[in-house]
Amino acid sequence: MNTVIREISTTDAGIAGHLAYEAFKSSADAHRFPLDFPSPEAGQEFAGLWINHPSIYGVAAEVAGRFVGSNFLTEQDPIRGVGPITVAPAIQASGIGRKLMEAVIERGKGAPGIRLVQDAFNTISMSLYASLGFEAREPLALMSGRPAGTVPEGITVRRMTDSDLAEAEALCVRVHRFPRTGELKDAVRGLQPFVAIRGGRMVGYASSVPMWQLNHGVAETEGDLCALLTGAGQQLNDPVSFLLPVRQAGLHRWALRSGFRMVKPMTLMTMGEYCEPRGAWFPSVLY
Ligand SMILES: CC(C)(COP(=O)(O)OP(=O)(O)OC[C@H]1O[C@@H](n2cnc3c(N)ncnc32)[C@H](O)[C@@H]1OP(=O)(O)O)[C@@H](O)C(=O)NCCC(=O)NCCS
């Protein structure tokens, strides 16, 4: 099969979003998990945002002139994030996903690292990414709920603003050794990021509390992270959702005690530099 890989363009948003809906639906339905994109329109809205973002690189796959798949690489920050990758269900398992992955790996080869999060039940994607050189780092549990309990005295939880970005960057670097300030700038503009303040300084942040796909967080301690999510949950109408790295056993037990329910298992996979985080944290769907 003659597959052409090319840069994605704005005019592809309709078909790319529709295929993202169909491809993820085929995988979720097969395993009876909820849909990541609940409708074709949700897929198209996402595709429009991602394709038009100045710091997100996208590729399209074509067979005989027909659009059959896409993949993306976020480039706002030093660590690159892959996804979502989609191949039309009728044409999966014929090598197109591998080509789409190779294209973004080539694009990201100058970066210190490339990372992604995959559905742990997806035997195809885990095998594909591992064979390309990605290493499984963390088992994750997607958790969703409205945390019960109260924020401990001495901690304040409030919305993040532009003036928090420098302190948030420093905290992220302390935990992960890499900044994610490009993403945080997007979050402050259109998402619902929160910070936790203790002793007059920032001890935690979460970048998009109700939307797990875009929600990454860091904190000095597990207690700070629990307080942050509890306080944010009290100020929002929507449930809190985040990808809990289950090796943080205390955080896991707290989430279950607080009323969170597990939605599905996922895996953080990385290529290139990786340091064990120093503090409490959770990744977005990118890393
Ligand atoms: C995941 C996805 C992008 C992969 O694309 P694809 O075109 O089907 O994949 P490819 O055919 O290029 O590659 C799959 C590879 O996995 C291997 N593979 C598949 N099932 C496997 C299994 N159970 N065990 C081991 N290897 C397996 C195949 O042999 C192939 O490897 P090869 O290139 O060495 O032959 C595609 O299936 C898809 O769109 N799925 C729905 C959306 C989705 O789940 N996206 C990813 C979210 S994590």
Instruction: State pTM to two decimals.
Output: 0.96
- Nearest-CA residue for ligand 1 atom 6 is 97
Give the Å distance between the CA of 122 and the centre of ligand 1. Answer: 8
Task: State mean pLDDT over 129-149.
Answer: 97
- 69 phi/psi in degrees, rounded to 5: 175, 170
Of 111, 129, 158, the one marking the end of a domain is 111
In sequence order, what are the residues at sequence separation of 6 or more whose Cβ sits closer than 8 angstroms to the Cβ of residue 46?
Answer: 17, 20, 37
| Residue 51 CA, ligand 1 centroid: distance in Å | 23
Ligand 1 centre distance from Cα of residue 92 (Å): 7
Tell me phi and psi for residue 97, to 5 degrees: -60, -40
Cα 198 to chain centroid, rounded: 27
Among 189, 191, 216, 8, which Cα is nearest to 115's? 216
Token pair 């979003």: residue: 17
Same domain, 185 and 277: yes
Whether 174 and 245 share a structural domain? yes
Q: What percent of the chain has pLDDT over 90?
A: 99
Per-residue pLDDT of 216-271, as tens digits, reads 999 999 999 999 999 999 999 999 999 999 999 999 999 999 999 999 999 999 99
Residues 104 and 156 in one domain: no
Closest ligand 1 atom to the C-alpha of 23?
41
Query: Residue 171 belongs to a domain with what CATH number?
Result: 3.40.630.30
Whether residue 1 is predicted with pLDDT greater than 90 in this model: the reply is no
What residues line ligand 1, using a CB cutoff of 6 Å?
23-24, 27, 85-87, 92-98, 118-119, 122-125, 127-128, 131
For residue 69, which atom of ligand 1 is closest to its CA?
Answer: 39
Question: Has residue 28 been placed in a domain?
Answer: yes
- The tokens describing 63, both together, are 């067979």
**Domain, as residue range, for 48:** 3-111
Average pLDDT over residues 41-70: 97
Residue nearest to atom 2 of ligand 1 (CA): 97
Strands 113-119 and 86-87: unpaired
